[in-house]
Each structure stands twice: as C-alpha cells, then as structure tokens.
Amino acid sequence: MAARDQERAALRKDSMERYDPYYAQDTDGVHFAVDVDGRLVQAYISRPVLAQTCGVDEPGLLCVAAYQTHRDAIDEAVRRRVRTRGPETVLVLAEELGIRDAAPSPVVRLLQKPVAR
C-alpha cells in the first residue's frame, strides 16, 4: 500500500508541474499556471491588463517577458482570487493588480456579452 501511495504522489507531482507561460494570439494574452496551496490553477492575463501593469504596451510575443517581469504580483493576485472564490481558471483583472479604469480584454467582453435565449 505504501508503494502505491508513493507512486500516486509521484504522478500527482509530475502532473502538477507548472508549464511555461505562453502568448495566445486568439485571446491576446498570456496563459500561465500558478501553484496555489499545492493545486495547479490555470490563469490568463490580457495584453491590455499587462500593458497597464507594466506601463508599456508590448506586442504579442513580448507579453510573456512582461508577465515574467511582474510574475510575483500577478501570481499573487491569482492566489488571492482562488482563495476567495475557488480554483476555477482565473482571468486576472486590472483591479486585482491595483489598476483602475482598465479597458476589458476581448475575452472579458465576450464573457460579459448577454446570451440570447
């Protein structure tokens, strides 16, 4: 039984590896993963929110470098959100980084669009 538990723990650890952040053109932002209390949570930050965080509007692929520069603050915003609202995928909002008057990203606008019934 102990060997099986060790195997499960090893598998869980392997599946919990944080993947490298990447820029996705279709969502115009950076997708990344954050370890929150031993659970890997997927997250996303839009290019406009990153631009407001960094003070510079970086073109697509440079957004990853901007995220990495501000990773600690952004990841901490994800941790706060998960601890208060649960472990679903997190779309990091400007106000969670202390930014006011942020324009919503295309993904947020799409999510806020009313559904026709």
Token couple for 69: 């520069």
d(CA 88, CA 7) in angstroms, rounded, equals: 27
Q: Residue 42, class by beta-carbon neighbours within 10 Å (0-12 exposed, 13-18 middle, 19+ buried)?
A: middle
Kind of pairing between the strands at 90-91 and 22-24: unpaired
- CA–CA gap between residue 17 and residue 69 (Å, rounded): 20
What is the mean pLDDT of the segment spanning 65-71?
90
The CATH number given to 18-112 is 3.30.160.140
Residue 28 and residue 104 in contact, taking contact as beta carbons nearer than 8 Å: no
Specify the pLDDT at position 3.
Answer: 64
Q: Where are the domains of the chain?
A: 18-112
Tokens matching residue 80: 């706060």
Structure tokens, 47: 């290019």
Query: Which tops the pLDDT comparison, 6 or 83?
Result: 83
Cα separation, 100 vs 79, whole angstroms: 20
- Measure Cα distances from 36 to 4, 43, 61, 83 in Å: 25, 11, 26, 8
**Residues 12-67: tens digit of each pLDDT:** 444 456 689 999 999 999 999 999 998 899 999 999 888 887 777 778 778 899 89
Amino acid at 103: A
